[in-house]
A = this chain, B = another copy of it.
Amino acid sequence: MLIVMKPQATEGDVRAVCAKIESMGFRAHPMPGAQRTAIGITGNPGPLEPAEFETMAGVAEAIPVSKPYKLVSREVKSEDSIIALKTGPGKADVSIGGRELAIIAGPCAIESREQAFAAAARVRQAGARLFRCGAFKPRTSPYSFQGLGEEGLKILAEVRREFGLAIVTETVDPENCDLVAEYADVLQIGARNMQNFSLLKHAGRLKKPVLLKRGMSATLEEFLMAAEYILSEGNYDVILCERGVRTFADHTRNTLDLSVIPAVKRLSHLPIIVDPSHGTGKRDKVTPLARAAVAVGADGLIVEVHPNPERALSDGYQSLYPEQFEELMEQVTAIAGVIGRTTARSALATAGSQLQESGPHCKDRRFSS
């Protein structure tokens, strides 16, 4: 059930509806929009009677939600969600889901202060505003490098201070979720944990945005339901991420399913980005697929970049060299320009070119996808 408030409804009206919902033993999720506030109801075992709410002050209508997912649905919130990160006083704000593409880059795992700083300097310069780097690594083998742990998180905090990059790093279980949240700007939940419901619920109770990767064989509905777990606990700042699915095809490590981007855009208000590094597993495929991801309408990219890929402790074969990442940024900035979007690099480019205003193609933020 979704309660849609009138545009002129007061804050008190909204509070009264929420109080009524809670008094019935359910959970109220007020979602302010540009025009009006909507209030999602979860926790109800069956359909509710619309009349119970439609007679209250400020209520426009009470409508049943037809999809199994509720809070992630465009039925509940028709405008795109834009997730703003506050990376610190005096630091440039970063947002995900807006006109500017969110570019997240960095090494698979933090190996040392030197490695992290070297990577951060290069990706910052190339136009990334967010830094990805794992301190806790879920590895297929118990005998593989499992990450530097909290020591790594501390270095990431330094990276933020030094380079003004927002930090995206992985959490692997409910226990370590709180620790990671102390240091990170965005909590990453990996593909293998997409249906680790305890972790999803725990992340839903924190106040940090969550980057949720699609599971290797997750259907679109399962993907959205996993996000719903987080929202249902009160955390509405979820960024979805397509990172390839598992198929019979053997020329890439996974098969990047770019059709999921317009499919998500149709059903959900949440932003969705693409990981062409895991999505292909091969360095020479990353940039072409990054171009395609931007062209299809993704809200950003997450890319593995390592100052020295041959010596990487994990995923070296799919990590870009810093100069390759610069090329990637140049190319995706060009594509962004013609579909009415920008990157942090666009501003630099503007001085010397008219690229991002290239004519009739950027009437609005993007082509209808």
Measuring CB to CB, which residues of chain A are less than 8 angstroms from any residue of chain B?
A: 42-43, 68-70, 138-143, 172-176, 192-193, 195-199, 201, 216-217, 219-222, 225, 228-229, 232, 245-252, 255-263, 266, 279-280, 284-285, 287-289, 291-297, 327, 330-331, 334-335, 337-339, 352-355, 358-361, 367, 369
Which of chain B's residues have a CB closer than 8 A to the CB of A335?
A: 295, 335, 338-339
Given contacts A335-B295, A358-B334, contact A195 B248 (CB under 8 A): no
* CB of A161, distance to nearest CB on chain B (Å): 29
Partner of A295, one of B262, B292, B337: B292
Instruction: Report whether B172 and A175 are in contact in the complex, using a CB–CB cutoff of 8 Å.
Output: no
Q: How far apart sit A289 and B260, CA to CA, in the bound complex (Å)?
A: 10
Provide a sorted-by-A list of 7 A–B residue pairs whose CB atoms are within 8 angstroms: A42-B142, A140-B225, A142-B228, A245-B255, A258-B258, A259-B279, A289-B296
Partner of A249, one of B42, B220, B251, B358: B220
Beyond A255-B257, A262-B289, A355-B358, 9 extra complex contacts between A and B, CB < 8 Å: A68-B141, A217-B248, A245-B247, A251-B260, A258-B258, A288-B295, A289-B296, A291-B296, A338-B355
* CB of A201, distance to nearest CB on chain B (Å): 8
Instruction: Report whether A138 and B195 are in contact in the complex, using a CB–CB cutoff of 8 Å.
Output: yes
Which of chain B's residues have a CB closer than 8 A to the CB of A42?
A: 142-143
Instruction: Report whether A175 and B198 are in contact in the complex, using a CB–CB cutoff of 8 Å.
Output: yes
Which of chain B's residues have a CB closer than 8 A to the CB of A291?
A: 295-297, 339, 367
Which of chain B's residues have a CB closer than 8 A to the CB of A70?
A: 143
Instruction: Report whether A330 and B260 are in contact in the complex, using a CB–CB cutoff of 8 Å.
Output: no
Partner of A217, one of B246, B279, B289: B246
Given contacts A195-B192, A232-B142, contact A292 B338 (CB under 8 A): no
| Residue from the set A222, A228, A295 with the largest chain B CB neighbour count within 10 Å | A295
Which of chain B's residues have a CB closer than 8 A to the CB of A138?
A: 195, 197
Q: How far apart sit A296 and B139, CA to CA, in the bound complex (Å)?
A: 30
Closest B residue, CB atoms, query A173:
B198
Given contacts A259-B280, A262-B284, contact A334 B353 (CB under 8 A): no
Which of chain B's residues have a CB closer than 8 A to the CB of A331?
A: 339, 361, 367
